[in-house]
Chain A
Amino acid sequence: MKDKQHLLQFNQKIQLTIVSFDGIIKETDNKLFDWKTGSSIYDTHPFFYIIESLTNDSSTKEFSFPCIHFKNNTSEKLCDVSIKIKHSEIAIIFYDYTEKYKELNQIAQQRNESFLKSKALALKNKYLLEKEEFKNSFIANINHEIRTPLTSIIGFVEVLEKTKLSFEQEELTRIIKRDSQHLHTLVDDMIDISKIESGQLKIVEERFVFSDLIAGLNESYSRLADEKNLQFETYIDSNIQEYLIGDRMRIYQILNNLLNNAFKFTEEGKISLSVTKNYQRTNKLSINFKIEDTGIGILEEHQPHVFDRFTRFNEEKQISGTGLGLAIVKNLIDTLNGEIKMTSQPEKGTIFNIKLPLKFEITKSAPERKKKKYTLPENKKKFRILLVEDEETTQYLVMKTLITHGSFYVDVAIHGEEAIHYIERRNYDLILMDLKMTKVDGYQATHMIRNNYGDKVISEVPIVGFTANTNATERDKCLKSGMDDFINKPFKREDLIYIITKQIAKKAAD
Chain B
Amino acid sequence: MPDSLPTDSVGIVTPQTLHFDAPITLACGQTLESYDLVIETYGELNADASNAVLICHALSGHHHAAGYHTMDERKPGWWDSCIGPGKPIDTNRFFVVSLNNLGGCHGSTGPSSINPATAQPYGPDFPVITVSDWVQSQALLADRLGIPCWAAVVGGSLGGMQALQWSLDYPDRLRHAVVIASTPRLTAQNIAFNEVARQAITSDREFHDGRYQDFEALPRRGLMLARMVGHITYLSDASMGEKFGRELRDQAYKFGYDAEFQVESYLRYQGERFSEVFDANTYLLMTRALDYFDPAYEYGGDLSKALAAARCEYLVLSFSTDWRFTPARSEEMVNAMIAARKRVSYAEIDAPWGHDAFLIPTPLYTDIFTAYMDRVAREVGA
Partners in one complex: no
